[in-house]
Amino acid sequence: MKKLFILFILVACCIPAAAVAAVPTPSDFSYCADLQGAVKAESLYQIHLADEIVQKAGAGFDDMRLFDTSQKETPWVVIPNVPPHETIETYPLEITGYDSDALSVTITLKLPQKHRSISVMDLKVADRDFKKRVALFGSSDGKTWQPVAEDSIYDFSSQVNVRRTKIEFAKTDYRYFRLKLTDFKPQAGAGPSIKLHYEGLDFSVNGLQKKDLRIQSVEGSTQTPSEKKPVYDLKTFDNLAPALDRDGNTVIILHADLPLDRLTFDIANPYYYRTVTVYGSSIGKEDSYQYLTSQVIYRFPLSSEQHEEKNFIEQREPKQAYYKIVIMNKNNPPLELKGLAFARVQQNLYFIALKNNERYSLCFGNPHVRRPDYDIANFVNQNTLSQNVYARVELASLRASGGPQPTLGDRFAGMEKLVLRIVVILLVIGMGLWLYTLMKKTPEKK
């Protein structure tokens, strides 16, 4: 009995949790796609990872492999389509002139002698509750002025957390600037001014006129220009099925299987101000959602011809299978939501062809493989990509492969509880036999 018990203990301890990982082949993955076109040896190539691949591949592309015709792995690296980080420099602008009349205020500004081209001007304003038109002009000599931008600055902080004091424009080399601030007024013959009162919020066009601003300082900065911003892939969801929860909030459940960088709302309402909370889940069950972010979207008129709008939320999140979007309606009717758009930073795979006219297959869909660690990431990366010449190759349609085969660990996974129960039963039986034998050997007291 003792030998049998020891044998069971040894068997239970020797069962491996998982098998030793073997070298994967295309048949070990659920999906594969063949590369189209010929390649040249020692040349760098780019593959765009479209939504279908991102949805079916593992998070972070850990289960992705690139095979040649002999089913050997070819090293690769995935690089997001984001420009390399540039150091942002900020410069104080010296106020060299100030003029005012009954309708406007004009401020003349000058950058330091040594500066980079700026694309943002930030006004440090101490006041609250204001709304002004802005016309910005630039000059290289301080004499001849050219229009740079027309914009608006405002603050409604006594009602809602909405404030804007930055002016954004195309990057310019001008050193001298002229800033003209004007109160909002209806144009002649345009009819009565707009008066908008909405759920206690007052965005009236003429409600905040004739207020002199106390501009403490002005700063210029070298923000990233629009041509160097991230490139996004867009996935649109039109057939939404919004529902109302018990508090009257709009709830939308999306099965996306995509990472999230920006979520844009297509809303028909002419004006609104709503808080949006986003949750994520890997399985979609009600109690499985985790909080991701909570932000505000809004739209309101600044004048009869100009509107201010923020209809998106930005939040960098890894891939989630399901998203729950909750729009807080308070006492307002639900928004007329026409659609949603997921924007994620474009992901591209890069590899170096090792042979001429080699045929490659990109395979993925196996949770049992680990993320590979290739040398290529050390010399082809976000900082060095612009220094390399590469060609774009396309993928054929996805095809189902053999799929991941169950490992030894998977086969034993269902047996672990059974083995544990047998071990416990044997331990109990062994302890009982040992106590019985011990009691038999104990002499009876007279």
- What confidence tens digit (pLDDT) does each residue in 343-399 have? 999 999 999 999 999 999 999 999 889 999 999 999 999 889 988 999 999 999 999
> DSSP labels for 259-279?
EEEEEEEEE--SSEEEEEEEE
Among residues 10, 5, 4, the alpha carbon closest in space to that of 428 is found at 5
Decide if 15 contacts 390 (C-beta within 8 A): no
CB atoms within 10 A of CB 198: 13
Joined together, the tokens standing for residue 158 give: 């006594």
Please, are residues 377 and 31 in contact by the beta-carbon 8 Å criterion? no
Are 90-227 and 230-345 in the same CATH fold?
yes
Q: Annotate 295-333 with b (16+ C-beta within 10 A) or e (fewer).
A: eebbbbbbbeeeebeeeebeeebebbbbbbbbbebeeee
Alpha-carbon distance of 360 to 79, in angstroms, equals: 19
**Residue boundaries of the structural domains of the chain:** 2-13+420-441, 20-80+349-400, 90-227, 230-345
pLDDT in tens, 72-101: 999 999 999 988 777 889 999 999 998 888
- What fold is seen in the domain 230-345? Jelly Rolls (2.60.120)
CA Rg value for the chain: 33
Strand partners, 45: 351, 391
- CATH of the domain spanning 90-227, picked from 2.60.120, 1.10.150, 2.40.30, 3.40.1710: 2.60.120
The DSSP bridge pattern shows strands 44-48 and 390-392 to be parallel
Q: Is 0.75 surpassed by the pTM of this model?
A: no
256 band by pLDDT with thresholds 50, 70 and 90: very high
Residue 355 to residues 35, 67, 120, 234: CA-CA distances in angstroms? 14, 13, 49, 35
